[in-house]
Amino acid sequence: MLLTRYIPCLLLKGSGLVKTIKFKNPKYVGDPINTVRIFNEKEVDELIFLDIEATPQDREPNYKLLSEIADECFMPLAYGGGIRTLEQAKKIFQIGIEKIAINSAAHQNLKLIGEVAAIYGSQAVVGVIDVKKNFFGKLEVVSNSASDKHKQSPEEWAKELVKAGVGEIMITSVDKEGTWEGIDVAMVKRITDSVNVPVIAHGGAGSVDHLKDAVQNGGASAVAMGSMVVYQKKDFGVLINFPDKKILEKI
Q: Report, as residue numbers or ranges, the catalytic residues.
A: 130
Phi then psi dihedrals of residue 90, to 5 deg: -60, -40
- Looking only at the bridges linking them, the beta strands covering 77-80 and 99-102 are parallel
Q: What is the spatial distance between Cα 93 and Cα 98, in angstroms, rounded to a whole number?
A: 6
Which run of H or E residues covers position 54?
none
H helices present in the chain, as ranges: 32-41, 63-72, 86-95, 104-108, 111-120, 154-164, 185-192, 208-216, 227-230, 245-248
Burial of residue 194, with CB atoms counted within 10 A of its CB: 0-12 exposed, 13-18 middle, 19 or more buried: middle
Q: What is the spatial distance between Cα 207 and Cα 186, in angstroms, rounded to a whole number?
A: 18
Which run of H or E residues covers position 171?
strand 168-173
